[in-house]
Chains A and B, each alone.
Chain A
Amino acid sequence: DSGVTQTPKHLITATGQRVTLRCSPRSGDLSVYWYQQSLDQGLQFLIQYYNGEERAKGNILERFSAQQFPDLHSELNLSSLELGDSALYFCASSVDRAGNYGYTFGSGTRLTVV
């Protein structure tokens, strides 16, 4: 157990639907990062939150949004789902102190859009 908890582990939904993925960071970590990993693809950075505020944005689609709550858990919302959104979605957390880049990843949510 890495200490980063992602739920649900698996999600199957239809095109056009909306889903919410949840991430609880490791205790003490203030930053949460979301990554998308498509089949046989690398890890694409989506978005970062630090202590409730958006810090950095990657190639995140407008149909996707995220937030980090006061208890530091984060949610990634995916709407108007398309077949191409099927992927593994990973959350990672870090203490995010200067020079400390250590990430801890969760086990991911496998999203299948049918």
Chain B
Amino acid sequence: QQQVKQSPQSLIVQKGGISIINCAYENTAFDYFPWYQQFPGKGPALLIAIRPDVSEKKEGRFTISFNKSAKQFSLHIMDSQPGDSATYFCAAPSGGYNKLIFGAGTRLAVHP
């Protein structure tokens, strides 16, 4: 089964720092790469997504960088805030019918 490999498993960043989470995928047919944010006790929520025809997408403090040749994409959180403390999941569609497969998740803690 196609996989999406996410790292690191956990990340601690100081307030104001940059958080970087990476994902690697296998299937070159993937054409949509979203990141989801999940707070404790809540369902994941779409944070930002990119298609492979662009190398970078920025929304506020959140940026996705996409490297098609390396089959990797990453999430950068600039000026990280304590409110960004959450679990982040990368994902990619797999097997048709818009089914998403998710990475294992990264637990981010931003310390004040």
A residues apposed to B, CB below 8 Å: 2, 4, 31, 33, 35, 41-43, 45, 48, 50, 55-56, 58, 90, 92, 94, 96, 99-108
The CA of A108 and the CA of B96, in the complex, are separated in Å by 24
Give the one of A43, A94, A105, A107 with max B CB within 10 A: A43
Given contacts A45-B101, A108-B43, 20 further A-B contacts (CB under 8 A): A2-B43, A31-B98, A41-B105, A42-B89, A42-B103, A48-B99, A58-B99, A90-B44, A92-B43, A94-B98, A96-B98, A101-B32, A101-B98, A102-B34, A103-B36, A103-B100, A105-B43, A105-B45, A106-B43, A107-B43
Residues of chain B from 25 to 69 with CB closer than 8 A to chain A in the complex:
31-32, 34, 36, 41-46, 49
**A-chain residues with CB within 8 Å of residue B89 when the two chains form the complex:** 42-43
Of all chain A residues, the one with the shortest Cβ separation from B101 is A45
| Contact partner, B99, options A33, A102, A106, A107, Cβ 8 Å | A33
Q: At the interface, yes or no: B16 with Cβ under 8 Å from chain A?
A: no
**B-chain residues with CB within 8 Å of residue A56 when the two chains form the complex:** 95-97, 99
A-B contact count (CB 8 A): 67
Please list 7 pairs of residues, one from A and one from B, whose beta carbons are closer than 8 Å in the complex, sorted by A's number: A31-B98, A41-B105, A42-B89, A45-B102, A99-B32, A101-B34, A105-B44
The CA of A33 and the CA of B43, in the complex, are separated in Å by 13
Of all chain A residues, the one with the shortest Cβ separation from B10 is A40
B89 to chain A, nearest CB (A): 7
Q: At the interface, yes or no: B24 with Cβ under 8 Å from chain A?
A: no
The CA of A98 and the CA of B111, in the complex, are separated in Å by 41
The CA of A41 and the CA of B6, in the complex, are separated in Å by 12
Are A50 and B97 CB-contacts (below 8 A) given A41-B104, A43-B89, A101-B32? yes
B100 with A90: CB separation less than 8 A: no
The CA of A4 and the CA of B95, in the complex, are separated in Å by 24
**B-chain residues with CB within 8 Å of residue A103 when the two chains form the complex:** 34, 36, 46, 100
The CA of A106 and the CA of B82, in the complex, are separated in Å by 24
What string of 1s and 0s marks CB contacts (under 8 Å) between B70-112 and chain A?
A: 0000000000000000000100010111111111110000000
